[in-house]
């Protein structure tokens, strides 16, 4: 006796996967893009100089450059107080936790301050 089982179709309906274009270009994504693009376009229309970033701009902060260098430069008192506060905080944290990372943290911070000042031109 030869019994042959035949299946006429799947009992569970198969969902058709949407195409690539319908996944990329749908209403929801178009609205998200429009929410961002329309305000940018409006600002660009009303302020074309700001939108094009013309080279005729003047540096408004140039007059305060000497003040900033005097206050936050390499040899200023602010940098010395920041390093001193880091040394004190590192010592206190080491005493509380006995973790060497806190003790040597001031060396890392002072190195970053020195590198940052040289990159910034101070």
Report pLDDT digits (tens) over 15-37: 777 777 777 778 888 888 889 88
Number of domains in the chain: 2
Residues 83 and 36 grouped into a single domain: no
Residues 46 and 70 grouped into a single domain: no
How high is the pLDDT of residue 68? Answer: 74
Q: Is residue 11 part of a domain?
A: no
Q: Is residue 114 part of a domain?
A: yes
Q: Residue 39 belongs to what domain range?
A: 23-52
> Do residues 113 and 94 lie in contact, with contact meaning Cβ atoms separated by under 8 Å?
no
pLDDT at 114 over 80: no
pLDDT at 7 over 60: no
In 1-122 the beta strands, taken as DSSP E runs, fall at none
| Predicted TM-score (pTM) of this structure | 0.40
Burial 14-39 (b: 16+ CB within 10 A, else e): eeeeeeeeeeeeeeeeeeeeeeeeee
Burial 83-92 (b: 16+ CB within 10 A, else e): beebbeebee
More confident site: 87 or 3: 87
pLDDT at 122 over 80: no
How high is the pLDDT of residue 93? Answer: 84
Q: Which of 88, 81, 80 is nearest to 105 (CA)?
A: 88
Residues 34 and 73 grouped into a single domain: no
Residues 104 and 71 grouped into a single domain: yes
Residues 77 and 102 grouped into a single domain: yes
pLDDT at 69 over 70: yes
């Amino acid at each position: 006796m030869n019994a042959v089982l035949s299946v006429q179709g799947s009992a569970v309906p198969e969902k058709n996967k949407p195409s690539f274009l319908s996944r990329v270009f749908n209403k929801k994504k178009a609205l998200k893009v429009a929410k961002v693009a329309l305000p940018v376009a409006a600002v660009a229309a009303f302020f074309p100089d700001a939108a094009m970033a013309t080279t005729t701009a003047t540096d408004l902060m140039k007059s305060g450059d000497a003040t900033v260098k005097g206050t936050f430069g390499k040899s200023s008192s602010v940098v010395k107080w920041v390093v001193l506060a880091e040394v004190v905080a590192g010592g206190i944290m080491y005493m509380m936790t006995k973790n060497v990372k806190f003790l040597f943290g001031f060396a890392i911070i002072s190195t970053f301050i020195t590198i940052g000042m040289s990159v910034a031109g101070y």
